[in-house]
Amino acid sequence: MKIAIGIFAYFPWGGLQYDMLNIARELCRRGADVTIYTGSWQEEELPRDIRVEIIETAGLSNHARAVDFACKFHQAASEADIKFAFNRFGGCDFYFAADDCFAAALEKKRGAFFCRHLGRYRVFSRLEREIFSSDSRTHIFYIAPAQKADFQRIYGTDSERFTFLGPGIKTQFVLPDSCRRQACRELLGAAPEETVCLFAAANWRLKGGDRVMTAFARLPEELRFSMRLHFAGGDDKGHAQRLARRLGILDRCVFHGKRQDMENFFQAADILLHPARKEAAGNVIAESLACGVPVILTDICGYASLVEEHSAGIVLHGAFSSAALEEAVRKWHAQKSAFKAQALAAASAIDFHGRARTAADKILASRVCMPPGENAFVRQSREHSPVSNPVCAAQNQNTQPI
Task: Indicate the burial class of 323 (C-beta count within 10 angstroms; 0-12, 13-18, 19 or more).
Answer: exposed
Does the structural domain 2-166+354-396 have CATH classification 3.30.365.10?
A: no
The pLDDT of residue 233? 85
What's the pLDDT tens digit per position in 74-127?
Answer: 999 999 999 999 999 999 999 999 988 988 887 776 555 556 656 678 888 899
The pLDDT of residue 179? 94
The pLDDT of residue 109? 65
Low-confidence ranges of the chain (pLDDT < 70): 109-119, 235, 367-402
**Is 131:140 a contact under the CB 8 Å cutoff?**
yes
pTM: 0.79
In terms of Cα–Cα distance, which of 12, 4, 82, 1 is closest to 37? 4
**Is 41:20 a contact under the CB 8 Å cutoff?**
no
**Is 304:297 a contact under the CB 8 Å cutoff?**
yes
The pLDDT of residue 114? 57
Q: How many CB atoms lie within 10 A of CB 17?
A: 21
- CATH superfamily for 178-349 is Glycogen Phosphorylase B; (3.40.50.2000)
What's the pLDDT tens digit per position in 267-314?
Answer: 999 999 999 999 989 999 999 999 999 999 999 999 999 999 999 999
Q: Burial code of 224-253, b = ≥16 C-beta within 10 A, e = fewer? A: beebbbbbbbbbeeeebeebbeebebeebb
The pLDDT of residue 43? 85
In terms of Cα–Cα distance, which of 210, 221, 233 is closest to 325? 210
Sign of the C-alpha dihedral computed for residues 249, 251, 252 and 253 taken in this order = positive
The pLDDT of residue 244? 97
| DSSP string covering 120-146 | HHHHHHHHHHHHHSTT---EEEESSHH
User: In the chain, which segments carry CATH 3.40.50.2000?
Assistant: 2-166+354-396, 178-349
